[in-house]
A and B are shown apart, each in its own frame.
Chain A
């Protein structure tokens, strides 16, 4: 039985556990039909030309983990930004872990999707936002069909959330292979600010496939900063589908740091429904061995006077492969759009590959759109400069790559997170050369 067949037939078993007499369940039922119809994407799909899911779909994944596995905070502390106070929503093998979490309902809701989907007090928010911006493609539909657990964050208007929120998913290897379908909904109302950090971490070498969907709504003048740390082990794969809808004068940034994992696909779509919106998409990818990271972005400029800024840097060693496919659509009404996109890559090894493809579809005539992509080696004159000061070849290369990627961090607003990412970059590049980290 293929994974697709298994998933479709599991849906009936899933229905036994949930209330089927709800609007949500109608959405799920429709979604499983869409998945049944569309299935998993293949390399024949234009957007998946350079990323094949074959190698990760062959495992016999458990779809519903049976037992809960307790883990001690001390064993996993390292995966948190632990030197500052944060809200935490933590899942172990897809199940909520209350003893590792710190949620709240005081002044804002930082809680569980399962609660939001079933409790009447959230009904209005769910009806207004759930599955409203997510794509109706095969993978997102699969997630929608099984949507039950994840993070639910609702920030009411005029609220500056005073500490970051961490969403962390652990898998423990309880199952020989595990598939997870986390579903997050983040609604930030007028004038409110929030910072969110998301991480997926497998604690064993058993294969894990996460197919995650996150919907983010930034209402009028809201500020949302979302950070994704992708540093999982080499048997863990992630398909991250994130959809952002912005209203007028809002600011939304997504930073994606991809250092680990076997296969990582980031589908990041922004829709600008209002004027004077700012959308920022940034990423640093540093991978080696046979790792694969694919960034597929879309920024849809719908109304006038908006901006978007995309800056993705990649360093690829060994047999690693990378993909950047960045699409910017500027509708006819979206005059005075400023859309910038840049993708710079360094290939460290002869066997590493990067496929980069900017796609601009511009229907307005008074816009500023720029895109640039580079693929290259390190600057030899810079290398000589460092070496002439006594810094050996290996360290000089490390230092230059560090400088190349670290530049993206200037827009990270949480100092402790910035410091952590800097360390991860230094570690990943084997740079250990007297830095003030």
Chain B
């Protein structure tokens, strides 16, 4: 599904990713953990195609295709989805209109006709129920005045609508109370199948109790310094990151 080789990336001449290697197979859930400033969000943004970041070296493959040179929207059309840590507020565009536009643009890119209105409505109803989203919420301006929890739930609602092959969840647990966390995780788990993959980026082990990872990676200073199974996440929760820093001599 996703293969990253020796990825180096910088922003404004500041080197952030310093040789990332990662392979995610269909059906897998990977967690990327690490302290603040280790490069987690940068990695997510670079995979999604944010142009502020300069890829200096290395390659990103999606289903065997090199996507280094593709624009963000082209990556989205190929099935990459990023759930934002800080979803942007867009006054004047309703959640529904935004989703319709996104879905129909993706269909257009694949040479398909617009989705018929009744089908769209059905899909919206189905997916909003999955995320326990009120219908009124869908006619509000995108993310404007949403609480932290509403924003994150809305991100996963978008994921449900777009049905990506590779979903990257960037700090989706931050700002969530326990109920919202359960709803969001439940949504992700229901969307999960043997043909897609999820990369969960998080500080804390809490979310991983709900979305159980197959692999856990520790990102430190722009490199993946340790990989393991879900037990590694528990260990990190208990002991923090210092022991790894010592172990790898960082």
The answer on a CB contact under 8 Å between B51 and A389 is no
The answer on a CB contact under 8 Å between A395 and B105 is yes
Residue-wise, chain A 374-412 has the 8 Å CB interface mask toward B (1 for contact) of 000001111011111111110110011011101100000
The answer on a CB contact under 8 Å between B93 and A390 is no
The answer on a CB contact under 8 Å between A382 and B72 is no
Residue-wise, chain A 399-437 has the 8 Å CB interface mask toward B (1 for contact) of 110111011000000000000000000000000011110
The answer on a CB contact under 8 Å between B104 and A388 is no
The answer on a CB contact under 8 Å between A385 and B73 is no
Q: For residues 342 through 398 of chain A, which have their beta carbon under 8 Å from a beta carbon of chain B?
A: 379-382, 384-393, 395-396
The answer on a CB contact under 8 Å between B73 and A403 is no
Among B75, B82, B90, B97, contact of A434 (Cβ-Cβ < 8 Å): B97
Residue-wise, chain B 92-131 has the 8 Å CB interface mask toward A (1 for contact) of 1100111011111110010000100000000000000000
* A388-B91 CB under 8 A given contacts A393-B71, A433-B105: no
Q: A434 to B101: give the CA distance in the assembly, Å.
A: 6
B residues near A380, Cβ cutoff 8 Å: 52
The answer on a CB contact under 8 Å between B71 and A390 is no
Number of interface residues of B (CB under 8 A): 36
Q: For residues 143 through 180 of chain B, which have their beta carbon under 8 Å from a beta carbon of chain A?
A: 158, 162
Chain A residue nearest to B106 in the complex (CB): A390
Residue-wise, chain A 142-183 has the 8 Å CB interface mask toward B (1 for contact) of 000000000000000000000000000000000000000000
Among B91, B97, B98, B114, contact of A389 (Cβ-Cβ < 8 Å): B98
B residues near A436, Cβ cutoff 8 Å: 96-97
The answer on a CB contact under 8 Å between B105 and A391 is yes
* A435-B97 CB under 8 A given contacts A385-B88, A391-B105, A393-B73: yes
B residues near A387, Cβ cutoff 8 Å: 49, 71-73, 76
Among A379, A390, A404, contact of B88 (Cβ-Cβ < 8 Å): A379
The answer on a CB contact under 8 Å between B52 and A395 is no
Interface SS, A side: helix
A-B interface contact total, Cβ < 8 Å: 85
CB of B181, distance to nearest CB on chain A (Å): 23
- Cβ of B84 within 8 Å of any chain A Cβ, yes or no, is yes
Q: A322 to B166: give the CA distance in the assembly, Å.
A: 45
- Cβ of B87 within 8 Å of any chain A Cβ, yes or no, is yes
- Cβ of B50 within 8 Å of any chain A Cβ, yes or no, is yes
The answer on a CB contact under 8 Å between A384 and B92 is no
Residue-wise, chain B 53-78 has the 8 Å CB interface mask toward A (1 for contact) of 00000000000000000011101110
The answer on a CB contact under 8 Å between B48 and A388 is yes
Among B72, B90, B162, contact of A403 (Cβ-Cβ < 8 Å): B90
CB of B120, distance to nearest CB on chain A (Å): 9
Q: A406 to B93: give the CA distance in the assembly, Å.
A: 9
CB of A352, distance to nearest CB on chain B (Å): 22
The answer on a CB contact under 8 Å between A384 and B72 is yes
B residues near A434, Cβ cutoff 8 Å: 97, 100-101, 104, 114
Chain A residue nearest to B45 in the complex (CB): A384
B residues near A382, Cβ cutoff 8 Å: 88, 90
Among A390, A395, A400, contact of B90 (Cβ-Cβ < 8 Å): A400
A residues near B76, Cβ cutoff 8 Å: 387-390
A residues near B104, Cβ cutoff 8 Å: 433-434
13 contacts between A and B (CB under 8 A): A380-B52, A382-B90, A386-B98, A387-B72, A387-B76, A390-B109, A392-B71, A403-B92, A404-B92, A433-B101, A433-B105, A434-B114, A436-B96
Extra contacts besides A382-B90, A388-B84, A391-B105 (14): CB < 8 Å? A382-B88, A387-B72, A387-B73, A388-B49, A388-B50, A388-B75, A388-B81, A390-B73, A390-B109, A395-B105, A399-B93, A403-B93, A403-B141, A435-B101
Give 9 closest A-B pairs by Cβ, nearest first: A403-B92, A390-B76, A387-B72, A390-B106, A389-B102, A385-B88, A434-B100, A433-B101, A387-B73
What is the interface of chain B, defined by CB distance below 8 A to chain A? 48-52, 71-73, 75-77, 80-82, 84, 87-88, 90-93, 96-98, 100-106, 109, 114, 141, 158, 162
